[in-house]
Structure 1
Amino acid sequence: MDTTVVESWKDFMELSSRFEGWAFRGQQDARWHLQSSLSRYLHAYVSDKDQWRSREARAIRIFRRKAHNHVPWPKLLHDDLRCLGLMQHHGAPTRLLDFTKSPFVAAFFALERATSDSAIFALNTPALYDDRARPRHAPWLTRDTIDPRVKGNMEKYFLGNDNEVVWFGEPEEMDGRLIAQSGTFVVPGVIDRPLHRILDGYESDEPLLRKIVLPVALRADAMKWLYRMNVTNASLFPDLDGLARSIAVEIEMVWPTQTLG
């Protein structure tokens, strides 16, 4: 995986413009691999990998049995990708990885609480969308073939944890947060290895993943630029929780002409 360390926010803006149509994910620690919350949780608390498949299936089953009490349209729980997306956005560990089509949204998530060098991963979604990149071991597993929005495909190609594939996209119906964040989901076919290891098994004539390291020294300048661009928790999470979370950055954004009264 190619890695670039940028020296300034200006350098990042220039570099990000080269990734037309790609998807991005920001992580506050540059040392972290691209792993889903479910992968991290299972690695930490369930040592027997033979149980991972049944543990994930049980988590989804329990959520579906109980979430109907809290959602206005319980039928959406029978849509596999929408159900996992709902779980993800409300804090449950899932195999989904949140990406965004905006490098600046990714930068915000990378830098907001960073206290050391952070990173943005850029995924070559155009190559995956056009099937210019396919799994070397199973080139017949095209994007359309494994599409988890098709009934039965999540179980067939993903939940079994035996297909080293990657799919990206959104549910047919997107919720408010996904829209506000220009979000998309990346769905790995196995959860016992990070995303870059899965992509290493793809046949492609072009890079599929790039890593951009953001030194902590550029955080202050970057956060001011993002604030001016209205990339804040209040805009990315359009609800009271988002507004409350945005106040932390408001504490930082005191301009020279302002008073603290």
Structure 2
Amino acid sequence: MSHSDRASSLETAEEKRQRQAKRAYLDALPKHPEFVLPNDDIDGLLPSAKVASWEELLKILQGPDFKKTKYDLVYRGHAGHDWQLSSTLGRLFDGGDIPSDKRAKLLRQFKLSMRGRGYDLGPLQTDEEVWAVGQHHGLKTPLLDWTRSPFVALFFAFSKYENQSETENNPSRAIFCMNKTKLEEDLGEDFIDEIFLEPEDHRNSRLVNQSGLFTIAPDGQDNLVSLIVNRLDDAELLGSVDETSVDDHMDKFLAAADVALNKTAAEGSGKPEVIFSVSDRKRAKLLARYIFKLHIPNSITDRKGCLEALRQMNIHNGNLFPDPGGASEFCNDWLERLLADEKDEVFEEQKKQDDRKIAAAIKPKTQVDITDDVSTLLNAFLELEVGQADDLAQDISNKVSEASSLDWFRFPSKRVVVKRAVAQALASGPGDIKPDRKIDELIEMLLEKYASAEEKSI
């Protein structure tokens, strides 16, 4: 690693505090179907909750609350835990409110720039449909993409690749859910027509394959969430913070949550922070009937597992983007998965090898009894009285055991030590060498006998 790489990988105390604060925030969120109104830089005005995992989310999405035929639910996935519901054009301006003149001039410029480029905008009936064409081709627009498939939204939440450092600073991915039917019932069909756009132009194949549609806040009211909340407040459908109450369970939860983040802050800058500045549980529950946000724990393995599961549902780049760009992304994703699988296979094989070595190291060795063979050799080479061969064989074995070390028979330097022990035992033992025998031959035979026995015991 170069000096610059090491420097960039170092985490400052403030960066660590911020990372811990993000994690504390996620940990403090209630589990679905409970909600809180954080009113902060992460979740804004939206009622928010968390799920334990993407697997749990799949089960929730297949439950009765999300499968009622009478409800037209739409979803949006975000890779960043703190990404707001702001259009690509709205992100260029503070608060997300797009100046009317900038909006009009950009649309005019796009219409002029599209002339002679093989896409006829003439058949399109409204400016909103022109914006939709621009959105499809990368223009910054006041539109937000939504889908009627929660699984497509989940794909977009996890499709963005992150390295380990990015993942540690992004503790969760997120999906948003909006109940289009409930909004229409309580705020009227005109409001739905005001903020939703479903282009009839058949040339946007991506929109069809993604079960897609758009939201677009009216000119001058470009913050979608604020628009919805304000309209619901005007209709007195959410109550107010002063009028509604917090039950004992939520009081305890919020107290614990604040303690968690205050502790994290104290460990960093020492400045107290508040996780949830709006603690009205009833208001959160009422607003969640129309729109809410769910946080999904994020990790490199979570991303891989989630995308694999969605791929089995035929939800992937190749299907959602039926064009050359989608084909390219699909192939890039295939290569990424292939390399990841190969890396996992190498890791697993290395782990198996290590496990085998550990097992061999702790496994009791099978002792090979060569006492009779040693005694036979001693009787063949030495002049011994009855019983002396057995005693000498035991003495030699003891000396070999003291002199031997791990895998001694494999290394010449270690073999010499054991050979010397055998020779010393013979020199101090009873009996003389027979006339037709040589002591060096006996030593070599005994050494090979012990080496063979040791090798068999592994």
Q: Which residue in 2 is equivalent to 1:4?
A: 49
1:170 alignment partner, one of 177, 198, 205: 198
* Offset, 1:19: 2.4
- The answer to whether the 8 A contact 1:76-1:82 is kept is no
- The answer to whether the 8 A contact 1:84-1:94 is kept is yes
Higher relative contact order (CA 8 A, sep 6+): 1
For the pair 1:133 / 2:186, whether they are aligned, the reply is yes
Give me the whole-angstrom Cα distance separating, in 1, the residues matched to 2:89 and 2:223: 12
- The answer to whether the 8 A contact 1:118-1:213 is kept is yes
Give structure 1 stretches of 5+ with no counterpart.
135-141, 148-165
1:216 alignment partner, one of 278, 295, 298: 298
2:179 alignment partner, one of 116, 120, 124: 124
Higher helix share: 2
Residue identity matched to 1:246: F
Query: What percentage of aligned pairs have identical amino acids?
Result: 29
- The answer to whether the 8 A contact 2:209-2:320 is kept is yes
Q: Which residue in 2 is equivalent to 1:102?
A: 149
Q: Which residue in 1 is equivalent to 2:189?
A: 143
- The answer to whether the 8 A contact 1:118-1:216 is kept is yes
* Offset, 1:78: 5.0
Give me the whole-angstrom Cα distance separating, in 1, the residues matched to 2:218 and 2:114: 25
CA change 1:252–1:229 in 2 (3 A) is: farther
Which has the larger Rg?
Answer: 2
CA deviations over 1:114-135 (Å, ceiling 9, x no partner):
543211000111112xx2232x
Q: Which residue in 2 is equivalent to 1:230?
A: 314
Give structure 2 stretches of 5+ with no counterpart.
1-45, 163-169, 239-285, 347-458
Matches within 5 A, 1:25-104: 25-43=76-94, 52-104=99-151
Give me the whole-angstrom Cα distance separating, in 2, the residues matched to 1:190 and 1:121: 23
Aligned residues: 228
Residue identity matched to 2:215: V
CA change 1:259–1:183 in 2 (3 A) is: same
CA RMSD, 1 decimal: 2.8
Q: Which residue in 1 is equivalent to 2:330?
A: 246
Residue identity matched to 1:226: L
Q: TM-score, normalised by structure 1?
A: 0.77
Q: TM-score, normalised by structure 2?
A: 0.46
- The answer to whether the 8 A contact 1:29-1:114 is kept is no
Higher strand share: 1
Greater Cα shift, 247-256 or 110-119: 247-256
Q: Which residue in 1 is equivalent to 2:406?
A: none
Give me the whole-angstrom Cα distance separating, in 1, the residues matched to 2:59 and 2:112: 48
CA change 1:234–1:179 in 2 (3 A) is: same
Residue identity matched to 2:114: A
Residue identity matched to 2:99: W
2:217 alignment partner, one of 176, 180, 188: 188
